[in-house]
Amino acid sequence: MTILPENALNNLFENLVTQFVKDNLESIMKAEIQQFMETEQTGERNSRNGYYKRSLHTKYGNLEDLEVPRDRNGAFQTQMFEPYQRRDGWLEEAVIQMYKSGMGTRDVARFIESMFGSHYSPTTVSNITATVLEDIQKWQQRPLQKRYSVIYLDGLYVKLKRSTVSGEVVYFAMGIDEDGHRQILGFYVGGQESANGWRDVLNDLYNRGAQEVPLGVFDGLPGLDAAFRETYPKADVQHCVVHKVRSTFPKIRIQHKTEVIEGLKTIYTAADHDLALAAFDTVKAKWGKLYPKEMRSWEEQLSTLLTFYKYPALIKEAIYTSNPIERMNKEIRKRLKPMNSLTNMDAAEKIVYLDVIDYNERFAERVIRGFGELGVRKKLNEMFESRYPASPMQA
């Protein structure tokens, strides 16, 4: 018995698969033209007119001499592929996925040419990914739900090439809806992070339908809390406790760092709001003379750092910090890292959008821990009803 070498076996298997795909495509097209001829209502005499041969590159291999049926009037068109299409679309999808993973247009073009022998210029790759821009516009204009239990805000800096290369912010807004599902509501690219920039973001969210929000969670960027309250005057503000601890840490002398940070931890891990205030008084009494500016800064922000105590304890982990949106930003930053800089705003939007869609799909059916509990849902609903009572016309 003759034993074929491994590479010969692989070639044989690939040829069998390719032939199988070719045979099935031709069978489908034969059925298509038969149905077409039976249902054609052109009023003109028509008949089959044999076949023409063409090639089609698929993910299963290159199909040579594929027999495509035709009619005498030239009216039949198979649904398997477009008239001048030479690929079944998988390579274009692969281009988008490679681009999404952080490969630049030149890297994608070189990879395709080395793997498939197909010449794709960086411009062609860019044109393929440009189809995403239409999806971005529709996505950015989609209506939002009326109620979100929490809205998180955070910015991520990316390097964009304009006249020079400089860092520009991507504003992100994330929400948890009444059912406990977490989704990215919007992203906005360009400029330097500012309260005015956030004001535009918040106005956009409101105009797209997100009009009832009891809580906003974000860091202590100057003016951001005021911008948030302009749009959502009935909402609470929760400043990120983790950000506050991080900003305090570098200002403490090395010999005191551990003790001070442990002391601060007793504030936001206290059993209730009153005990948290008492814990702060203890920390202030101990460290106020050595670190007066730091203790004063905590005291000035204490009310917004402890907002989470108004809410059910079961959702504390989700709302006392902006970590949920920061973790998402970390994922996107990892995708962008292979690119030293992006050529323009469109390039940045394409990368971010593809990651955002992927994120939203992953979390579409997940209920964030605590938000699915009956007691929590009841409490949050009471907050909505007390702050946003239905008008007589709605009742």
Spatial distance between the Cα atoms of 367 and 103, rounded to a whole number of angstroms? 33
- Report whether pLDDT(79) > 50: yes
What pLDDT is recorded for position 90? 55
Model pTM score: 0.71
- At 259-273, the pLDDT tens digits run 999 999 999 999 999
Q: pLDDT value at position 4?
A: 46
Q: Identity (one letter) of the amino acid at 122?
A: P
pLDDT tens digit string along 89-121? 556 666 666 665 556 666 767 766 665 555 566
Joined tokens for residue 337: 């890292």
Using the predicted structure, report yes or no on whether residue 334 has a pLDDT greater than 60.
Answer: yes
Average pLDDT, the chain: 83
Residue pair 69/30 in contact (Cβ under 8 Å)? The answer is: yes
Calculate what percentage of the chain has a pLDDT beyond 70. 73
Confidence grade of residue 253 (pLDDT, cut at 50, 70, 90): very high
Domain boundary assignment for the chain = 91-139, 145-234+341-388, 241-321
